[in-house]
Every structure is written in C-alpha cells, then in structure tokens.
A and B are shown apart, each in its own frame.
Chain A
Amino acid sequence: MTTAWHVEPEILARYSAGEVDDARAFSLESHLLACERCRAALAATGGEDRERLDRSWTRITEMLDAPRPGVVERGLVWFGVREHVARLLAATPSLRVSWFAAEAIALGFAVIAANASASRGRGTEAVLLVFLVMAALIPVAGVAVAYGRGIDPTYEVGLASPMRSFGLLLIRAAAVLGTSTVLAGAAALALPGPDWTAAAWLLPSLGLTLACLALATRVRPLVAAGSVAFTWILVAASVSYGRADRLIVFRGQGQFAFVFVIAVSAWVLARRRDAFDQGVME
C-alpha cells in the first residue's frame, strides 16, 4: 500500500539518525506503516536499524503499559513537581480531593459565620478567633494523616526500604502545609473587614506543625497531633477568656512565642530525625 504524500528525504535522514522529536517520530512511524515507498526510502538511508526499532518499541510499550496517573499526580507534575516525587505525594491521604473538600467546608463555615456576625452588626472577634485557631490546626491534622504507622498502608514496606522515612515525611508535610496554607489563605481573604489578622494564623500553623513533627519522634503521629491540638485549643481558649481583646494570642507576644516554638521544634526534629527510620515503636 502507498499514500498520496511522502516524507521529505531530509526528514527521513533526520529520523534515521534519531534527530526528530517524539511527536514527529510517532507521526512518521504511522505514515511508514502505510507507505511502502517511504519505507524503501528509509531503508536506503541505512536507517531502520535494530537499535532504533528497539527504542521505538520501548517507547510504545512505555506509553501503553504505564497507566495514566491520577488527577493529583498529574496536577503536581503540571506544577513542576518531579515525576517520582509526585507519585510519593499521590499516596498521601491528606492530599486527596476528599481531604481538600473537607478542609474547604470547615473553613467555609467559619467564613460564613464571621460574615453573618458582621452583617448583623455584632462583633466578629469570637468567630474570627475560632477561624484563626482552626486555620492554624488544619495543617497539623493533614500532617498527622500524611505518613505513619496505621496511616500509610505501606508503612512497613516503606520502613524496610532505603528511602529515609524522615525525608518522605518532610516531603509530604511540606506539600500538606503548602496546600493547607493556600486554602486557609483563600478563606482568610473572604473574612469581613480584612486586616492583618487574616494572616495571623500563618506562624502558629507552622509552629504547631513543627511541634507535631517533633513530638512524632516520640509517639505516633496521630497521638502527637491530638496532643498538639488539645494543648493549642486549651491555650488559645484560656488566654482569650475574659479578655477585651480576644485575639490576644495572635498579637505580637503570641507571634513571638510561636517563633520560639518553631525554633525549638526544628532543633528537636533535626536532632531526633533518625527516630523515624529506627523502626516501629512498640
């Protein structure tokens, strides 16, 4: 069989030398299958060698065999995340669409409550306090279910592999912190009368997340997250109770305290990072 058009000799020569891009190579290969004349011309260039055929076959096998990655994985690659890191992140429970939806709903309710309170002429501080406390805790919850025993179904296989568990945990924690920050930041923009308080959860969220990771070197991640969340809510509630300024925990001294929490937690984490690789704590 032959076709109405034929490949330019120069392009055939470049194809033969392996100098055309993948898209053009596929197009040429489709044409070559149907065009005897071009196949003969290609053979005359000394091309169609075994090596090239093998390369083409490998490429086709790769395309057919490697399943199309899921939405999250493709999204991560689109954002520039390396392919193998994207696969590690795709297995993170708190990087699933359902988790993002739960976060968005929780933050959405807080924003709606704050706006409703403002539209009725009531003070928004109490509702804002709830929003800020919650926004700071969201990444802690995400990190708690990002990696660990009883969380990741492949935890033991992962632990027995050479990849550092601490490295995997950090990759996932960073991704969770990033996505949670974007969501909480978007919600903060929808709060009534935006001012600096809309961003007051940023340092606390980083501090609480690092504190959770530091504590997870001693206890399971869920226990660490639960302890951090309980302590945080207790501190925020007791400091704010009866104060004229209910957001005092997010003001200057509170922010400074979180700088201290971040420094101490990072130091503990750096010193005890090997604990994640030592094996199951039983």
Chain B
Amino acid sequence: MNVPTVQVIGIEKSYFRTRALDGVSFDAGAGITGLLGPNGAGKTTLLRMMATVLAPDAGDLRLLGWDPGKADERLAIRRRLGYMPQEPGFHRNFTAFEFVDYVAILKEMVERKARHDEVRRVLALVGLEGVIGRKIKALSGGMRRRVALAQALLGDPDLLVLDEPTAGLDPEQRLRFREIVSERSTDRTVILSTHQTEDVAALCPHVVVMDEGRVLFGGTPRELAEVARGRVWLAAERAPGAHLSWRTGDGDHRNIGQAPGGANLVEPTVEDGYLLLVGHRAFDEEAA
C-alpha cells in the first residue's frame, strides 16, 4: 500500500448497549477503498467518523494526517473533505443548482462567479447539466443521488467519503459513477461503502469487509476472491454440506462451503469470497 492517508486504529463505538464498532483497524491510501458488508456491519458509523460528524468512544483516527478530535485539525480536514451521506437530505424547494450552491457556500466558496462556475462544473460531471433549474422535489431518486454526489465533489476534495453512493442508480448511471470516481482516485483518497460486490470488483483496488462492527478482511478484490478458492462448486442439486447454495440462471446450483471430493470446483469471484466471510447474514439480506 502507498502512504496511508486514512488510519483507523482500534475504533470503538456503542449506542447504548449495542456495539456498532468493536476495535476496527485498517489503513487506506490514495485510491479507492471499498467498505463491504451487510446492513448493520458498522460501515455507516465508520464513514460518519471519517466525515468528522461522529466521534469514536475509543481508538484513534487520522485523516490526511490530522486528528479529527482536535478543533483546528478537524477544520483542516473539513476543508479537504467531500462527504455524501447514506441518506442525503435536501432542501426540497431548492433547485439542483441552488442546493449545490448552498453547500458550496458552506464550503467557504463565497465569491459568486467562481462558486457558480464550480457548481456548474460538478453538476455537469454527474450529468445533470440539463436539470439544474429543476426543483429537487421534482427530481427522480437517481437524480437526487447524483445531486448528492455533485455536492461531495465540490472543490475537488483530497478525501472523498461516499456512503452507499450507487444505491438507487441504474446500471448506466452506475457506470458513469464509476468513471467519475475512478478519474479522481489517482492521487486522492476515496472511501466508499457498498454491499454491491460488483462495485468493489470494478472499482476498488483495496477492500475491507466488515460485519458486526469488526473487520473480517482487508486486501485486494483478487485476494478476497481467493478466500473462496477450492470452496465453490457447481452441482445439479443443493449440496447438503454447503454453507450457502443458490440456483443459477443455467439451472445449476452454486454451492459455497467445504467442497466434497470430486466436486466440480469453479473459479471463485469476489462475491463468493464475501459470502463465505459474512455467511448467512449477507445471503439472507441479498435474498430479501
């Protein structure tokens, strides 16, 4: 890994008796790091800490070399941060332009012309130049997510924190999103959460798998797939010893678990590795 720009060291966080993060540690450098995990894994809690809006109960966090627990360093981080929350809120009576302009003002862009140019630039980046005068409440869910992404891109931030950025996007929009984010990831740090393994496989050179507030895996998508090597096989029926099994479009059953002798082993995917790690929780969620 290159020089870490994000350092997460033994982070803990509880909400009353529920432990959301239980000693989470990992490093991330320039490029895209994907946090993968089922709902309730603690991804959003961790990303909110990286966005400086939530403080950990214990542990250390370093963002771009600064400590978000100190007021002056937190301000320095916020000046270089772009954040897209999981459920971005909007002033619905604002137009797309006005909303992004509003966030630009919060980001200390006071000079009107330069600010408006920047607002137009980010709205064009996410392909919304045609609807900038339309009220937020009249936009589709996918368009609103793109407005939320546009505000995060304001000022070309060094650290981009995106919580479930591809949720609600259609395949074409998802491709466009990958293009936008990957273009920005060469010398900047992007941390995104998702439970879409294809996003991770397509975008992230580094992936962290979380479940129940703990890190289960950290490495490349290829290494995540390797976790399942020798443990994925196809069969005509659901194998009794398989942890997970589902019928594919070809009519075969794809089984994950301890393969029996003579099984028809297949090349594992990122999804296989992920499912093997998070087990039934993720499988149940995807089935739902």
Contact = CB atoms under 8 A, between A and B. Distances in A.
Interface stretch (B92-100, B221-229, B266-274, B277-285): B92-100
Given A66-B97, A69-B98, A282 B54 contact: yes
A88 B55 contact: no
A153 to B, nearest CB: 3
A243 interface: no
Contacts of A274: 71
A161 interface: yes
Interface residues of B, number: 42
Contacts of B33: none
B118 interface: no
A9 B81 CA distance: 53
A70 interface: yes
Contacts of A61: 120
Contacts of B55: 278-279
Contacts of A112: none
A130 B78 CA distance: 46
Interface in B46-95: 48, 51-55, 71, 74-75, 78-79, 81, 83, 85, 88-95
B63 to A, nearest CB: 11
Secondary structure call for the B interface: mixed
A110 B152 CA distance: 47
B105 A163 contact: yes
A280 B53 contact: yes
Which of A65, A152, A168 has the most C-beta atoms of chain B within 10 angstroms of its own C-beta?
A: A65
A195 interface: no
A160 B51 CA distance: 6
Interface string A130-173: 00000000000000000000001111111111110000100000
A277 B71 contact: yes
B110 to A, nearest CB: 5
Given A62-B116, A67-B98, A160 B53 contact: yes
Contact of A154 (B48, B54, B78, B91): B91
B100 to A, nearest CB: 11
A88 B98 CA distance: 10
Contacts of B17: none
Given A154-B103, A160-B52, A279-B52, A84 B110 contact: yes
Contacts of A84: 105, 110, 112, 115
Contacts of A282: 15, 54
B53 A87 contact: no
Given A69-B98, A88-B102, A157 B91 contact: no
A79 B30 CA distance: 47
Contact of A87 (B81, B98, B151): B98
A61 B161 CA distance: 31
Interface string B151-192: 100000000010000000000000000000000000000000
A91 interface: yes
Nearest to B49: A279
Contacts of B53: 156, 159-160, 279-280
B133 interface: yes
Nearest to B68: A279
B116 A157 contact: no
Contacts of A161: 78, 103, 106-108
Contacts of B151: 157
Given A157-B151, A279-B52, A66 B106 contact: no
Contact of B51 (A66, A156, A162): A156
A54 interface: no
Contacts of A279: 52-55
A87 B101 contact: yes
Contacts of B91: 91, 153-154
Contact of A157 (B54, B85, B98): B85
Contacts of A36: none
Given A91-B91, A156-B85, A277 B74 contact: yes
A83 interface: yes
Contacts of A83: 112
B48 A156 contact: yes
Interface in A26-83: 58, 61-62, 65-67, 69-70, 83
A88 B109 CA distance: 12
Contacts of B97: 65-67
23 contacts: A62-B113, A66-B97, A67-B97, A69-B98, A84-B105, A84-B110, A87-B101, A156-B83, A157-B88, A157-B89, A157-B103, A157-B106, A158-B106, A160-B51, A160-B53, A160-B78, A161-B78, A161-B108, A163-B105, A163-B106, A274-B71, A278-B71, A282-B15
Interface of A: 58, 61-62, 65-67, 69-70, 83-84, 87-88, 90-91, 152-163, 168, 274, 277-280, 282
The 4 lowest CB-CB distance pairs between A and B, nearest first, are: A153-B89, A161-B106, A160-B83, A162-B78
Interface of B: 15, 48, 51-55, 71, 74-75, 78-79, 81, 83, 85, 88-95, 97-98, 101-103, 105-108, 110, 112-113, 115-116, 120, 132-133, 151, 161
